[in-house]
Chains A and B, each alone.
Chain A
Amino acid sequence: MKTLFHILSFEWKTLWRSNSLKVLLLVVFGAGIYGIYFGKFEIDKQQKRIAKVQQYERQQFDSLMLWVELDTTITSNKEKYQQAVSPTGVGWNKHFTYYLTNNAPPAAGLCLGQRDLYPVYYGFNVTDLARQVNTGELANPMKLLTGNFDLSYVFVFLFPLLVVALFYNLYAGEKEGGTLSLLQSQSTSLRTILFSKGLLRLTIIWLLAAVLLLLSFALQGISILENGELFFQWLIIIYGYCLFWVVLMGAAVALRLSSALSAMLGLGIWLIFALITPALLNLFVLANEPLPNRAEMIHAVRTLNGRNWEHPKSFVWDRFYPENPQYNDGDTTNFSKWYYASFTLLDKEANALKAEFEKQVSKRNALLDQWQWLAPAAMVHEKLSTLSDTDRESHLEFVKEVHAYHDGLKELYYARIFKGEQFSSDDLQTLSDKL
């Protein structure tokens, strides 16, 4: 133990006084800070968009709230009043859009994950959701391809390089520097000496990671008090990941190669785990495992829609009323009721197909997950993404929320439509509270 500290204190002096450590730490630290700011910038951008969308929705609804109070004896107010109270009228459905937004979870700025691939808001009305969620956010595919330079990227990609840079010279440095024989002639074994040197380097790396993580929480305004568990989960994962790389480099160093060869070996290992295996996995799965043809869903919806219009109304009633008896008052001629009933059928058709597709996709992604351990960098990044709620699952959760919200809206709308009623200002208040 005493020997350990003895070696640690002198090794620290040597390391610190050579400029290479300072440069390395500065570069990685700089990259980390850039990553933190980039993550914050992207999330702020998304949040601004969300705010705009919500503001627009609120504005629109506020005018409706005003219009419902208008004096309809004045002719010019009649149209506006109608727009406010008619659940089926052109007012509601063509000119008012509901929005549901996907607020950035607290750690999203640390690991943007897949958040840039999907929209963070959906606009829709009470017609069929199927034809309204097929939309994406405007994004330069080049930017999606090159990816995000956020903190998780620094941890997953650059920290292993830091490990390689700090460890490749562990043995070779002593040998090529000429101090090896003097070390070997001491009564402390070389193994102890090398282990101590390695331990110091691991400590430095861990310290840098902790500093960056703390800074990231501070600079991005994430409260550690509220997200303590998240903080520690991140810390443990990153510490484990660094340790993994240190062990790998330790094995490489044990081969007692020259510094150039050790560096090449370390870099080779990094290439294999961070670049080559994930790319190979993607090649085998992306290029060769078929994805469902999602256009089929659009095709099914448009076909059914065509059929709904071509057949007599009973075509829709026969499929709608049995599953929704609460709306069945025997009416088979009302256009609005038929119109809205058909939307439910379209959604049912689309959702069935979607579920089918999702099963296929899950099967395929399970293949990737199965072999993920071959690509530890990808595995760790995925874990961080899951922790930050920015993975694909999180988006699917959001889409589920959209469906649930839409269903909730439908309940209120259908209640009025199928009774032939209009919205009261209480109804509007209810809807407003739901926004």
Chain B
Amino acid sequence: MDAMHFDMEKIRGLRKYVTVSHSNFSFHINFFLMLEAINLSKKYSGHDALSNLKLTVGQGEVFCLLGANGAGKTTTINLFMNFIQPSSGHVKVNGLDASAQPQDTKKHLAYIPENLSLYGNLTGLENLQFFAGLGGEKPDKSSAENLLQSVGLQSDAVHKRVSQYSKGMRQKVGIAIAKAKQADNLLLDEPTSGLDPQASNDFAQLLQEMRQNNVAILMATHDLFRAKESGTHIGIMKAGKLIHSLDSDEITLTELEHLYLETMKSESHAEVNH
């Protein structure tokens, strides 16, 4: 029973993978879109946090959302997580509507929040076991240890209380929790803020690993360098709108920086002229 993957034409911002599997002489064709935002809007009284967002993140893609504070990055993540409801439009995870089927969609989502906090009085291992157990199967001690090792947490830290961890160590536990879920999709909110260069690098490597495992990753970040380095797609947001969306290899880092600053400046000019 081979699953044959066809690479469809590259359509700007859209990738379709068609999985065909046959068993008992019947063919099933699934159109498998991973993360989808369809005309997604979120309005609060007074301002539009998000206006008509359209984006797709497919398997193995890393979509980096760049933008200033209040641009709508975190709002987007929160909408995918069903922490808030959209004012209009849809959020789809593996084809499921996030607001209609919140518990089911969460099964396919792993999430690492900005300012990841864990239970300080539990060890890294215990935190992993707890959260993973909530998500599905509680990993036993050895698989949990292996998982923590695989994300680069030193073995002597595994049994220490999280209150003694650095931010980078906590983030590793967060990634382990995400990995344990074995979800198809991963949402990250400012994952590298506050990390030292070593930890940041470790993080990038883990990201690549997950990407190679065909996880669809949506990442909100300030970090232009990381976005260019780890991302396959980059989106620049401003005032709730996705202004630019481009492939990472279409642009150099310097160009990206230039584009970003221009966007921030010019858009504000445009707004003022309104």
Contact = CB atoms under 8 A, between A and B. Distances in A.
Contacts of B110: 185
Interface string B122-150: 10001001110111101000000000000
B15 interface: no
Contact of B116 (A14, A182, A184, A186): A182
A185 B103 contact: no
Contact of A6 (B103, B122, B133, B161): B133
A281 to B, nearest CB: 44
B134 A187 contact: yes
A183 B103 CA distance: 13
Nearest to B115: A178
B134 A13 contact: no
B122 A10 contact: yes
A18 interface: yes
Contacts of B177: 182
Contacts of A334: none
Interface of A: 3, 6-7, 10, 13-14, 17-18, 177-179, 181-189, 193
B109 interface: yes
Instruction: Name the residue in B81, B107, B117, B177 with the highest tally of chain A Cβ atoms < 10 Å from its Cβ.
Output: B117
Nearest to A179: B117
Nearest to A19: B121
Query: Which 8 A-B residue pairings sit nearest by Cβ, starting from the closest?
Result: A178-B117, A17-B121, A185-B111, A186-B134, A10-B130, A181-B113, A188-B134, A187-B106
B83 A181 contact: yes
B195 interface: no
B118 interface: yes
A3 B134 CA distance: 7
Instruction: Name the residue in B109, B134, B161 with the highest tally of chain A Cβ atoms < 10 Å from its Cβ.
Output: B134
B74 to A, nearest CB: 11
Contacts of A18: 121
B31 interface: no
A18 B120 CA distance: 9
A24 B161 CA distance: 23
A198 to B, nearest CB: 16
Interface string B94-112: 0000000001001101110
Given A13-B122, A17-B161, A181-B81, 12 more contacts: A14-B119, A177-B120, A178-B113, A181-B113, A182-B116, A182-B117, A182-B118, A183-B134, A184-B83, A185-B81, A185-B106, A186-B106
A193 B115 contact: no
Given A18-B121, A177-B117, A178-B116, A184 B126 contact: no
Interface of B: 81, 83, 103, 106-107, 109-111, 113, 115-122, 126, 129-131, 133-136, 138, 161, 174, 177
A179 B119 contact: yes
Given A17-B121, A184-B81, A187-B106, A193 B116 contact: no
A138 B133 CA distance: 65
Contact of B109 (A13, A181, A185): A185
Contacts of B111: 181-182, 185
16 contacts: A3-B134, A6-B138, A10-B122, A17-B161, A177-B119, A177-B120, A182-B113, A182-B116, A182-B118, A184-B81, A185-B110, A185-B111, A186-B131, A186-B135, A187-B103, A187-B107
Nearest to A186: B134
Contact of A189 (B103, B116, B129): B103
Contacts of A13: 121-122, 126
Given A187-B103, A187-B136, A189-B103, A182 B121 contact: no
B264 to A, nearest CB: 28
Nearest to B170: A178
Contact of B134 (A7, A14, A178, A181): A7
A189 B109 CA distance: 14
Nearest to A189: B103
A250 B122 CA distance: 25
Contacts of A10: 119, 122, 126, 129-130, 133
A182 B161 CA distance: 18
B140 to A, nearest CB: 13
Instruction: Name the residue in A10, A14, A18, A177 with the highest tally of chain B Cβ atoms < 10 Å from its Cβ.
Output: A10
Nearest to A7: B134
Nearest to B109: A185
Nearest to A188: B134
A370 B19 CA distance: 73
Contacts of A3: 133-134
B35 to A, nearest CB: 14
A14 B117 contact: no
B152 to A, nearest CB: 20
Nearest to B133: A6
A187 B137 CA distance: 11
A187 B118 CA distance: 17
Contacts of B120: 177
Contacts of B130: 6-7, 10
A185 B93 CA distance: 14
B135 A187 contact: yes
A293 B129 CA distance: 72
A193 B130 CA distance: 11
Contacts of B136: 187
A185 B98 CA distance: 12
B122 A17 contact: yes
B222 to A, nearest CB: 19
B154 to A, nearest CB: 22
